Structure 1
Amino acid sequence: MLTPLPRPHSLLDWAAQFAATLGPTGRMPRAPGTWGSFAAAVLAPILFLPLPLWARILTLILLFPLGAWCASRAERTLGCKDPSCVVVDELWGQWITLLPLPADAAWWIIPAFLLFRLFDIAKPWPVRASERWLPGGWGIMIDDGFAGLYALLLLFLARILV
């Protein structure tokens, strides 16, 4: 059963909350961050990996402020700081990890998923510290960006060595 959320006050609040939670994904009762990363990994071969590199980079650049806005709005609507149901940051971080993969390397999605979750949960420097560098949704998004970069670097090294 999905975790219920308070009813948004406006259509704009509803849209921001829906985007911030990736629909029902962030409302999973256990480990919503893992579910958000899983959804990002499942959607990547359809929406992200087929794009040329320049379009992937543009997608990530646009997703950061959009995700930050949605996350900030969801924080206000839900009345708490960095709510666990907000998982748009997982989408952004996971797709950062997947950035260098060619479209036909879908089997690398599994190690990419695992590496991203490792760094998102362990939060080595500057992942944890970065949450405090920026306010609201910006802080929610940035730590997953750093976790995604760590995972991207290890994945890139693994692809070179394998």
Structure 2
Amino acid sequence: MTKQDRNKDFKKYLKLTNPIHFLAVGLGSGLSPIMPGTTGSLMAIPCWLLFNGLQPILYWVLMVVAFIFGCFLCQKTSDDTHTHDSGHIVWDEFVGMWITLFFIPQVSILWVMIAFVAFRIFDMAKPWPIRWFDKRVPGGFGIMVDDVIAAIFSSITVYLLTYLINC
């Protein structure tokens, strides 16, 4: 089955009126015909602006809830659309971006762009151990966990860049 056929099958079973599906595809951003993961990562930024001002403990509680809820969202949408880790499911990119954006030193277009690029590089390249988790961990947890690991790598990159730039 070709990628185009898988996309047709995914969209055939996807119901945007179902709030679980709508969130899993990143408010529709994951349905982009070009680079849905990148589009989802971009859509995560304005959503992040809504809760960026939270106290750090509340921010991390929200991230844990978003991760756990994401495991359910991704699994349910995968099951309903008869796919595994479709590129259209981008809730994992949302959470990965939100984790990465926590570590920017200031809210500015430059730092948001740096965080975005770092996350996209790690999410697309999938260096070890990201690729290992992506290939071997099944279900909604598997869909979510590789992006969280990419976010950890991206966050370290952002932190190191902050240090290097401020030297």
Relative to the length of structure 2, the TM-score reads: 0.85
Matched, 1:135 2:138: yes
- Aligned partner of 2:11 in structure 1 is 5
Matched, 1:96 2:104: no
Distance (Å, rounded) in 2 between the aligned partners of 1:81 and 1:90: 15
Structure 2: state its 5+ residue gaps.
Answer: 1-7
Aligned with 1:23 (options 18, 22, 27): 27
Higher helix share: 2
Distance (Å, rounded) in 2 between the aligned partners of 1:8 and 1:29: 15
Structure 1: state its 5+ residue gaps.
Answer: none
Distance (Å, rounded) in 2 between the aligned partners of 1:23 and 1:42: 12
1:59-113 alpha-carbon deviations (Å, 9 max, x no partner): 11111110110000010111111111100000011111112235x4233110000
Amino acid at match of 1:72: Q
- Aligned partner of 2:5 in structure 1 is none
Amino acid at match of 1:6: K
Distance (Å, rounded) in 2 between the aligned partners of 1:49 and 1:7: 34
1:1-162 superposed matches below 5 A = 5-7=11-13, 14-44=18-48, 46-101=49-104, 104-107=106-109, 108-162=111-165
- Structure 1 residue matching 2:12: 3-state secondary structure: coil
Distance (Å, rounded) in 2 between the aligned partners of 1:7 and 1:130: 27
Relative to the length of structure 1, the TM-score reads: 0.88
The answer as to whether partners of 1:22 and 1:87 remain within 8 angstroms in 2 is yes
Residues 105-114 or 118-127, more deviating: 105-114
Amino acid at match of 1:97: T
Which aligned runs of 4 or more in structure 1 are off by greater than 4 angstroms? Answer: none
CA RMSD of aligned residues (A): 1.9
Amino acid at match of 2:146: D
Displacement of 1:6: 2.7
